[in-house]
Amino acid sequence: MADSHAAAHQPDPNAGASARVKTYINVAVALAILTAIEVASLYTPGIPNALLVTALLVMSVLKFFLVVGYFMHLKEDSNIMRALFVGPLIIAILIILALMALFSAYILLPHTVL
């Protein structure tokens, strides 16, 4: 009797796995929706360049955090591991913005002609 009572309070080892699968499916759906919004925004006429670039960068960063946070399990790692991923992301964004400014693309402010 004591054994059956103790077995009734044992956690189900499969309960966590199904919750993880559901989380991964939700993240994959969110990534698919964000990608669809990104592609649709590229083909939508009339969006100001500054708004388009800003929106694309924000969505890219969001997708980055979803991928590394859930699929690469970074949200469960230490802060030093997060810094090793977020640091290069910030550097990459700054390089992209610098290249866009160098080639006279509209970034966050309208281009002015002197």
How many Å apart are CA 89 and CA 96, to the nearest integer? 11
Per-residue confidence (pLDDT) for residue 114, from 0 to 100: 47
**110 domain-assigned:** no
Per-residue confidence (pLDDT) for residue 1, from 0 to 100: 53
How many Å apart are CA 74 and CA 81, to the nearest integer? 7
User: Where in the sequence is the domain holding 92, given as residue range(s)?
Assistant: 2-102
Count of the separate structural domains present in the chain: 1
Per-residue confidence (pLDDT) for residue 83, from 0 to 100: 85
pLDDT tens digits for 58-103?
Answer: 999 899 889 988 888 777 888 888 888 888 889 988 998 888 888 7
pLDDT tens digits for 40-64?
Answer: 999 999 998 888 888 998 999 899 8
pLDDT band per the 50, 70, 90 thresholds, residue 37: very high
User: pTM (2 decimals)?
Assistant: 0.66
**111 domain-assigned:** no
Tokens of 9: 């309070």
Q: Which residue, 47, 114, 60, is CA-closest to 92?
A: 60
